[in-house]
A = this chain, B = another copy of it.
């Protein structure tokens, strides 16, 4: 887990958080406080992908701060709502009480709502040609909507009461929406800002997203709540179909390694410049939280 990547990740997370806090300005009250709280302490992987894809396409880090902040705001909104009692009913997130536990459900609903709005506000503030900004916004809406992230979450909720457990193909489709769509948007933000076409980063992001989710399933079994920062063992206790329940623990680990290899192969077009993204792929399956 190279030094290049560790530095870049920490810097990306800090930059994105600063940009969100600055956009919120002096907004007061529990909802604004809950928004600041909800964007704190994340790994910053999605904002890192925005900054790296921007760098690879000649876009300055300062210009990438707005879309990087946007994707973290969007991700944070989804976590706040997913943690609600009517959804996954989680008490712990990133090692801290979830928003509805620290405040209340109404505040969590509103803070999540406003974080989604803020995500679009931030993308609209991206300093790039208006055509590129419109493309960023339209693609973010696709990634977050009922055919993307929310669609994946809806499949996840529906699976809980379904007669039969999900097949591997269904789990893959679910996770491609729930996690993969935002990863993909983040990894394509740089080329979109530069008006460039690239299949390399799209392929990379797809494999990375799936590897990330498989690693999450493994952490749910092998990790402990204190380190992971959220409840573990939930899927197995609920008898939920996951990559691990289908492939076994070893099979899942092998699949994740294969995906990381395939993600790295997709970066060949960037040569040595792609090294930080390769380290990121290795991190995704080596992390313990």
Residues of A within 8 A of B (CB): 24, 27, 29-32, 35, 77, 81, 84, 86-87, 104-107, 109-110, 112-114, 116-118, 120-121, 124-125, 129-131, 133-134, 137-138, 140-142, 144-147, 150-151, 153-155, 157-158
CA distance A120 to B30 in the complex (A): 25
CA distance A151 to B27 in the complex (A): 9
CA distance A141 to B120 in the complex (A): 6
12 residue pairs of the A-B complex, CB under 8 angstroms, read A27-B146, A29-B151, A77-B113, A81-B113, A86-B109, A110-B157, A113-B113, A118-B146, A120-B120, A120-B137, A120-B141, A124-B137
- Tell me if B151 and A31 are in contact (CB < 8 A): yes
A145 (CB) vs chain B CBs: closest residue = B117
CA distance A123 to B233 in the complex (A): 42
CA distance A154 to B144 in the complex (A): 24
A31-B120 contact in complex given A84-B109, A86-B105, A113-B81, C-beta closer than 8 Å: no
- Tell me if A87 and B114 are in contact (CB < 8 A): no
A219 CB, min distance to chain B CBs, angstroms: 24
CA distance A183 to B213 in the complex (A): 42
Q: A29-B154, A117-B150, A120-B137 are in contact. List 17 more A-B contacts (CB 8 A).
A: A24-B146, A27-B151, A30-B154, A31-B151, A84-B105, A86-B106, A86-B109, A87-B106, A110-B154, A113-B113, A118-B141, A121-B141, A121-B145, A129-B130, A130-B130, A130-B131, A130-B134
- Tell me if B134 and A124 are in contact (CB < 8 A): yes
A148 CB, min distance to chain B CBs, angstroms: 8
CA distance A134 to B146 in the complex (A): 23
A135 CB, min distance to chain B CBs, angstroms: 9
CA distance A76 to B110 in the complex (A): 15
CA distance A280 to B125 in the complex (A): 34
A35 (CB) vs chain B CBs: closest residue = B146
- Tell me if B116 and A146 are in contact (CB < 8 A): no
Partner among B35, B121, B144, B158 whose Cβ is within 8 Å of the Cβ of A117:
B144
Q: For A109, A125, A131, which residue has the most chain B Cβ atoms within 10 angstroms? A: A109
